Structure 1
Amino acid sequence: MDFSPEGLLGDLFSRSPDLLFIASAEGALRHPSGGLREALGPGVEGGARLADLAHPDDRAALDAAWSTLLQGDAPVSFSVRLRDGGGAYRQLSCTASRSSDGSAVLGTLRPAPAVAPMTEQELSTLRLKARMLDGLAEHVDPLTIWALDADGIYLYHDGKAVAKAGFTRGQHVGRSVYDLYAATPEAAAEMRKWYDGQVRRGRGEAHGADWDNWLIPLRSEPGGPVDGVLGVSLDVSDARIVEKELRIQLDQIAAQQKVIRDLSTPIIEVWDGVLTLPMVGTVDSIRTAEVMDSLLAQIVEKRARFAILDLTGVEVVDTKVASHLIQLITAIRLLGASGIVAGIKPTVAQTMVALGLDLSQLNTQRNLRAALTYAIRSMSRTDGASPAPSPAPPKAPAP
């Protein structure tokens, strides 16, 4: 039995009312079905190219879909308008796959679902959106706007920042984003996640620039499946440089402020085993906490026995700071040293009393001199009594 296209199967193919075709890899129609001849007329005969029958505005998308078809084994679906025998274009949906030997393409066409004609207001709104998109691409300097269809084919690729990435505007239209990044499989795998319906935003470096990227899923119908992705990429390289410079300046200012704070609260070893901390000016909670850390560390490092907090230069403290000072004295005692507060002003004393804290264990002295004298005497008593006086010389014998 002859199963060639000229045999029984060929007869079945030619009589089929379905819109079927066998085309060469280059897109020439070799065997159109009877239904396809009836639908499109004699234009499908004689090895006509499918692209020549397509509407001019659909040819780029058709070429892109055909290229994808020839590069893989999976069927490819796309929409295209084809010219019939009367010269009118019919909107058709095509599903095609490559033959097993790769020399031909087998396809089927069917009428696309009817779409209600757009009202004049809808057309006006659509044109306005197109002008807005083109206006952004034309005038926003560091911006790139691009869109992909359901198969990852670029439908739009424009913006003034395209040149900064080393491309020409519209260069990627009709190309597959997966082909462009075929050298990095992990990037292609990440791109397939763009169709999960989630809006994404992130920063990354590509093509020698820093980009702030938005990835927005597109749907033909509200609530329908994601059939495209809108990408907006903003070149933030200049802003990133300014940000780094600002961060360096802020780090320098912070370092300078730390030096100033260290100079304003110096810890001085005025005697062997005696540290003093003169505090001057405004004393706030942050400064008190830093003082506590530094002083306790110095007590441990120098094995100090006394720590004197000299408040002579402090006029006012709030209740929170006063509470911190009491806690500092307690912490000094836990380290095995004694804390002395010297030079308390009347206003500071009133604040500390108003706290209602137990001040009975607080050692206070009138001024720094009195505190230092107390510390030295205390250490002398702890270290033992003064050496006994030398014995008197023996008396001369009586004459």
Structure 2
Amino acid sequence: MESDSNALLGEFFAGCPDLLFVASAEGALLHASDALREALGPAALQGATLAELAHPDDRAALAEAWSRLVAADGPVSFRVRLRDGSGAHRPLSCNARRSSDRGVVFGTLRATTEVTEEELKAFRLKARMFDAIVEHLDDTVVWGLDPDAVCFYHEGKGLAKIGLKSGHLVGANWFEIFDDEARKAGIDLHAWFDGTTHRHRDEFFGIHWDLWAIPLRDDRGEPGAGVVCVSFDITEAKRVEKELRTQLQQIEAQQRVIRDLSTPIIEVWDGVLTLPMVGTVDSVRTADVMDSLLSKIVEKQARYAILDLTGVEVVDTKVASHIIELVTAIRLLGAEGIVAGIKPNVAQTMVALGLDMSQLNTQRNLRAALNHAIRSMTRAQAPSVAASPAPAEKPAP
């Protein structure tokens, strides 16, 4: 019968999820549940005393509490930090009492959220830092929501801009107040509690806000303790951005005008277009010219397009090949491309590239190119005279 009791007692200590122990009157651990062995590590297996496991700062209080326990007839509760298997001291609450024969002590330990003085000092410092940030950052609103979306913190200098005071919405349920408005703006407030960070840029109360919803974590580091939201007034930044966009659009329009003025396409004769180019011709400018000229040829149904390079002093190595491509494209549209006024240094660049310019129609200057185009069109328009025998002369009367 006694063996059965010992077996049940052993099974109880092995299976009980609580941190149970049996200690001697001097505080040495005689028996420990498997849960306690796992929590404290090898020390619980080697019969260490609670005083040896206690944090040095807690040993005096533990000795005083143990003295009360040994002398008392009922249970005694106290708190102590015990060293675990990793060497860290875990805050625990102990509830114990002396056995009826006063030979041993039965006790249980539970994890506690007791905060040390150092931890409390660090927490207060963090709180002061947070308050300082909120109090001194202009155009900012910060609020905290618990897991039920009830506001427990509502501060920030930006509140005055929307007609609210410090702590104005503390105690209010965010879903009840803002859920409908948020959905209209495409914001799902319920998604803020999914454990991930959310960011929105929207307009509320006539102000543009950059809003961050950040999950709060519990003591185990898991999300679910609520959400802290930080919202920045970016109305001024939006205004500057809009002005910059307007300025960029104006600059782009001006650049288009400048490009059009720098490469004007002139219809100098019916069916003859000329494109006088001046200054330095680069690849970007040549590409713009190609698009504009080809479109104009189609629009005007032109038969000749003259590229006047008289005013061009320098071209880069890619421009010569672009000119060949442009003339080829003009030919594909059913027109003829003529290059006029090539300077000696430009000609040398084109020759040095080794390009095939046998099909390139070049003229000395713009006047020669116009004469060529007009003569060609005149010949094409002249009526063809079919060869036929001369009529026979009538005999004189």
User: How far 1:218 sits from its partner (Å)?
Assistant: 1.4
Tell me, yes or no, if structure 1 residue 180 matches structure 2 residue 177.
yes
Corresponding position of 2:330: 332
Corresponding position of 1:210: 208
Larger radius of gyration: 2
Tell me, yes or no, if structure 1 residue 146 matches structure 2 residue 143.
yes
Structure 2: tracts of 5 or more residues without a match: 1-109, 386-397
* Counterpart secondary structure, 1:316: strand
Q: What amino acid maps onto 1:186 in structure 2? A: R
Corresponding position of 1:287: 285
User: 4+ residue runs of structure 1 moved beyond 4 angstroms?
Assistant: 182-185
* Residues 299/312 of structure 1: CA separation in 2 closer, same or farther (3 Å cut): same
- 1:182-220: per-residue Cα shift (whole Å, max 9, x none)? 544836981111122222222100111100111111111
Q: TM-score, normalised by structure 1?
A: 0.65
For the aligned residue pairs, the C-alpha RMSD in angstroms reads 2.4
Q: Distance in 2 between matches of 1:225 and 1:242?
A: 38
Corresponding position of 1:167: 164
Q: What amino acid maps onto 2:191 in structure 1? A: K
* Residues 375/137 of structure 1: CA separation in 2 closer, same or farther (3 Å cut): same
User: How far 1:154 sits from its partner (Å)?
Assistant: 1.0
Q: TM-score, normalised by structure 2?
A: 0.65
Corresponding position of 2:116: 119
Corresponding position of 1:48: none
Q: What amino acid maps onto 2:253 in structure 1? A: A
Tell me, yes or no, if structure 1 residue 379 matches structure 2 residue 369.
no
Corresponding position of 2:13: none
Q: Which residue of the other structure, out of 365, 368, 371, is the alignment partner of 1:370? A: 368
User: How far 1:175 sits from its partner (Å)?
Assistant: 1.3
Tell me, yes or no, if structure 1 residue 255 matches structure 2 residue 253.
yes
- 1:108-151: per-residue Cα shift (whole Å, max 9, x none)? xxxxx853433333223222221221112111111111111111
Tell me, yes or no, if structure 1 residue 246 matches structure 2 residue 236.
no
What is the number of residues matched between the two proteins?
A: 277
- 1:245-281: per-residue Cα shift (whole Å, max 9, x none)? 2221221122112111111111011111110000111
- 1:291-314: per-residue Cα shift (whole Å, max 9, x none)? 111111111111110000011111
Report if the CA contact (8 A) 2:338-2:360 is conserved: yes
* Greater alpha carbon shift after TM alignment, 264-273 vs 347-356: 347-356
Report if the CA contact (8 A) 1:219-1:226 is conserved: yes
* Greater alpha carbon shift after TM alignment, 154-163 vs 125-134: 125-134
Report if the CA contact (8 A) 2:215-2:223 is conserved: no
- 1:36-88: per-residue Cα shift (whole Å, max 9, x none)? xxxxxxxxxxxxxxxxxxxxxxxxxxxxxxxxxxxxxxxxxxxxxxxxxxxxx
Q: Distance in 1 between matches of 2:362 and 2:348?
A: 14
Q: Distance in 1 between matches of 2:223 and 2:149?
A: 15
* Greater alpha carbon shift after TM alignment, 217-226 vs 123-132: 217-226
User: How far 1:350 sits from its partner (Å)?
Assistant: 2.5
Corresponding position of 1:225: 223
* Residues 134/274 of structure 1: CA separation in 2 closer, same or farther (3 Å cut): same
* Residues 365/120 of structure 1: CA separation in 2 closer, same or farther (3 Å cut): farther
Q: What amino acid maps onto 2:288 in structure 1? A: E
Q: Distance in 2 between matches of 1:149 and 1:137?
A: 19
Tell me, yes or no, if structure 1 residue 158 matches structure 2 residue 155.
yes
Matches within 5 A, 1:340-359: 340-359=338-357
* Counterpart secondary structure, 1:277: strand
* Counterpart secondary structure, 1:357: coil
Report if the CA contact (8 A) 2:331-2:337 is conserved: yes
User: How far 1:385 sits from its partner (Å)?
Assistant: 5.9
Report if the CA contact (8 A) 1:166-1:207 is conserved: no
Tell me, yes or no, if structure 1 residue 297 matches structure 2 residue 295.
yes
- 1:332-359: per-residue Cα shift (whole Å, max 9, x none)? 0010000011111222222222333321
* Counterpart secondary structure, 1:172: coil
Corresponding position of 2:264: 266
* Counterpart secondary structure, 1:167: coil
Identical amino acids, percent of aligned pairs: 63
